[in-house]
């Protein structure tokens, strides 16, 4: 087990190195950079001022030279300073990732509580009206674009009914403190959590249903039924426990994504998380933050994959990680 983990960490290091090279090259080849963004439309800006700004932000360096300087800073524990936020990238990410977490975590829990039971019910009542209804709802959730569904919720609950905030993290011009502030922020997160939950349950539900159907067709399930066990014991004691093995690995792989943010959803609802900040950084050509957030997400993805593999070996002792 430990040899497998060490080897995966070693491979992950080279994967991150390759990702950083590709991302940095793509950013530098983009048609818009930070200096052109902040100077465009200003007739008082001279070419000399632009050249000085390019020199200041390191945009005059070639791609290999710029990447070498960035990598040298990373080796020393410095991800650079965000052009837009004017703060170290590590501090920006560490402060904003908790906004993303508190938006994603409730959606993650709700997806588990809704999708897994629906998947089990759909599998045990295959080709019934219940199965068709659950499958239709799941497919609708998977097919809806997040921006479209978010706009519908905003129109209904914010503009028509007026019971939920349209966007933002807290009510403007009101200084809540303590528990009142927590309630206000929770009220603002209801709509984005609904978006993430509805759009996320479809895939998990279908995955649970497919695995449940495979288990229900196994020989030991038919043997359990032939012994006279009740259907509840057959489904929940024998079939469901074995269905959880691959599902646990999927859920383990989703955990690091709680900190990575949801770029489109955060942008629509004005949640100042990692994803929303990354969207603004992409628009303005903020190279340090784009690189830092991309490597942060890539690292979380590798950790999630590793945790998923380890969990599979934990929940199923028959699996040996080599």
For 139-158, what is each residue's pLDDT tens digit? 887 888 888 999 999 999 99
Which domain range does residue 102 map to? 89-315
Within a domain: 39: no
Within a domain: 215: yes
* Helical (H) or strand (E) element with 233: none
Q: Which two tokens stand for residue 301?
A: 């993805």
Expressed in angstroms, the distance from the first to the final Cα of the chain is 7
| Number of domains observed in the structure of the chain | 1
Which segments of 160-270 does DSSP mark as H helices, in order?
A: 179-216, 219-226, 231-232, 240-254, 263-269
Where residue 193 falls among pLDDT bands split at 50, 70, 90? very high
Q: Print burial letters for 44-73: b (CB count within 10 Å at least 16), e (below 16).
A: eeeeeeeeebbeebebebeeeebbeebeeb
Within a domain: 161: yes
Q: Which two tokens stand for residue 58?
A: 């390191």
CATH of the domain at 109: 1.10.3720.10
Contact status, residue 304 vs residue 256, Cβ threshold 8 Å: yes
Within a domain: 70: no
pLDDT of residue 113: 92
The 10s digit of each residue's pLDDT in 37-52 is: 888 777 778 788 888 8
Within a domain: 72: no
Contact status, residue 135 vs residue 122, Cβ threshold 8 Å: yes
Within a domain: 124: yes
SS3 breakdown of the chain: % helix, strand, coil, rounded to 5? 75, 0, 25
Within a domain: 130: yes
Within a domain: 31: no
The 10s digit of each residue's pLDDT in 166-190 is: 888 888 777 777 788 888 888 999 9
Half-sphere exposure of 199 (CA within 13 A, CB side): 19
């Amino acid at each position: 087990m430990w040899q497998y983990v060490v080897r995966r960490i070693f491979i992950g290091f080279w994967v991150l190195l390759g990702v950083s090279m590709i991302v940095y090259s793509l950013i530098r080849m983009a048609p818009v950079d930070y200096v052109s963004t902040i100077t465009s439309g200003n007739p008082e800006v001279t070419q000399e001022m632009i050249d000085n700004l390019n020199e200041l932000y390191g945009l005059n360096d070639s791609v290999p030279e710029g990447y070498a300087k960035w990598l040298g800073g990373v080796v020393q524990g410095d991800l650079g300073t965000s052009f837009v936020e004017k703060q170290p990238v590590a501090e920006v990410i560490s402060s904003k990732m908790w906004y993303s977490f508190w938006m994603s975590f409730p959606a993650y829990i709700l997806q588990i509580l809704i999708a897994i039971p629906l998947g089990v019910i759909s599998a045990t009542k295959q080709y019934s009206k219940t199965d068709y209804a659950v499958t239709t709802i799941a497919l609708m959730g998977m097919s809806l674009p997040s921006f479209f569904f978010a706009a519908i919720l905003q129109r209904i609950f914010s503009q028509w009914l007026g019971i939920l905030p349209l966007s933002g993290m807290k009510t403007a011009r009101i200084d809540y403190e303590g528990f009142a502030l927590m309630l206000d922020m929770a009220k603002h997160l209801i709509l984005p959590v609904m978006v993430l939950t509805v759009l996320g349950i479809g895939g998990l539900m279908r995955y649970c249903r497919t695995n449940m159907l495979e288990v229900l067709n196994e020989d030991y399930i038919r043997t359990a039924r032939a012994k006279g066990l009740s259907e509840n014991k057959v489904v929940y004691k024998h079939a469901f426990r074995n269905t959880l093995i691959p599902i646990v690995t999927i859920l383990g792989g989703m955990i690091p994504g709680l900190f990575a943010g949801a770029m489109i959803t955060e942008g629509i609802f004005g949640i100042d998380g990692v994803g929303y900040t990354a969207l603004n950084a992409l628009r303005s050509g903020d190279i340090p933050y784009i690189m830092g957030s991309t490597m942060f997400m890539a690292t979380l993805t590798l950790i999630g994959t590793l945790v998923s593999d380890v969990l599979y070996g934990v929940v199923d002792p028959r699996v040996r990680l080599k």
